[in-house]
Amino acid sequence: MSTTIAQRPQLSGQPSDLVGARLPRWAPIAVGALAVALALGIRFALGWTGWGTAFFTAAALFVIILTGWSFSVEGVRRAKDRLASTLIYACFVAAVVPLVLILSYIAIRGIPAFSVDFFSHSMNGVTSRREGGGLYHALIGTLEIVAIAAVIALPIGIFTAIYLVEYGRGKFAKAVTFFVDVMTGVPSIVAGLFVYTFLLLGFGARPFGAAGAIALAILMVPVAVRSSEEMLKLVPRDLREASYALGVPKWRTILKVVLPTALSGLITSALLAVARVAGETAPLILLTGYASSINFNPFSGDQATLPMMVWDQLGKRSGTGTSDLTEARAWGAALTLVLLVLILNIVARLLARLAQPKTK
């Protein structure tokens, strides 16, 4: 004898007995519109001149009204969850909006300066208020200096990370970790002063491009160590133990198992470390100087870089002020630097995806 239990049909749009009452899907939109309207009304009523205060007022009203409505309809537990979610989304918007505004402003000001001549000519013989000139000399200098810094710093960072993950035990490993953490917080100007004191003053040398590369390498090492260390820790322990069980030595396990598995992450960490120092300016002021002509030799003479070109075109070297032409060149160089960092990040993602170990 079978017994069938009749189920009560659930009407669409009605809350379930287990779930409880819920706010409608359009509630955040409606509350947002109401908060904006109230903020605008308060702005005009009190005579606020700026839009920043009205924006933050609207955000506060949105959180208060939506949380109160949720508390009255959905209960305390659901209201707390909605409040936490709202704050998370608000923090995301607070982080993204300034970034979008900065990038948009740089693009609007920098794109008009872009041309074939701008990327194929230097500033040699071009005065601050004369048309023409470009950033070719600064682009060459930036690429050379960053490349030298990467050649110095990335092997040190990766090998140090391998030591800390695979071999590091005891006080020495703790000391290495401590100093890496300290180096992470060292200001860039301090690294520049260190190289300036021991290299330029110590040997009586004049500023040159490779000196700036050494300072950038000092700043790059802790980033490379930390990011590479985290990538190596993600390699499953079972892979190492399986290799050891087959009698493979530890050094060969690292070379043939650990590094290929973590290769995608190591590539990403390396390029992100390069992108981290590509826009540094403070060490370059002390160590590389600035040259308006093209200098392909980073070991002799002043060498221009994109950050230094921005600083120079804004008149901070000569003190003669800026014009529309110099500002256009400065914004063009700034946009080029942003695009260079963006390209490095995109290349890091692509190489990481290509270097991922095949699972099938």
Per-residue pLDDT tens digits of the chain, which is 360 residues long: 444 544 544 444 455 555 567 888 888 888 888 888 988 888 888 877 777 788 888 888 888 888 888 888 888 888 888 888 888 888 888 888 888 989 999 999 989 888 888 888 888 877 656 677 788 999 999 999 999 999 999 999 999 999 999 888 888 989 999 999 888 888 889 999 999 998 888 888 888 889 999 999 999 999 999 999 988 998 888 988 899 898 889 889 999 889 988 888 888 888 888 888 888 888 988 888 888 888 898 888 889 899 888 888 877 554 555 567 788 888 999 999 999 888 888 887 787 777 666 655
- Is position 19 within any domain? no
Structural domain ending residue among the three candidates 111, 139, 172: 111
Q: Do 186 and 270 lie in a common domain?
A: yes
Q: What is the pLDDT of residue 163?
A: 92
Q: Provide the pLDDT for residue 358.
A: 62
**Digit-coded pLDDT (tens) for 125-152:** 776 566 777 889 999 999 999 999 999 9
Residues 177, 69 share a domain: no
**Domain end position, chosen among 91, 111, 131:** 111
Same domain, 174 and 320: yes
Claim to verify: residue 338 and residue 202 sit in the same structural domain: yes
In this structure, the answer to whether residues 230 and 247 fall within a common structural domain is yes
In a domain, 100, yes or no: yes
| 180 in the same domain as 317 | yes
pLDDT for the residue numbered 1: 45
Residues 41 and 35: their CA atoms lie apart, in Å, by: 10
Q: Domain containing 203 — which CATH number?
A: 1.10.3720.10
Pair (149, 292) in one structural domain: yes
Number of domains observed in the structure of the chain: 2
In Å, how far from its chain's centre is CA 287?
25
Q: Are residues 78 and 183 in the same domain?
A: no
Choose the final residue of a domain: 111, 142, 158: 111
Domain that holds residue 94: 27-111
For residue 4, being part of any structural domain is answered with no
Q: Please tell me the total number of residues recorded for the chain in this structure.
A: 360
pTM of the model: 0.77
pLDDT tens, position by position, 54-74: 888 888 888 888 888 888 888
Q: What is the pLDDT of residue 129?
A: 60
51-63 burial by CB neighbour count: b if 16+ within 10 A, else e? Answer: eeebeebbbebbb
- The answer to whether the beta carbons of residues 316 and 328 sit under 8 Å apart is no
159/278 same-domain check: yes
- What's the rounded Cα separation, in Å, for the pair 209 and 200? 12
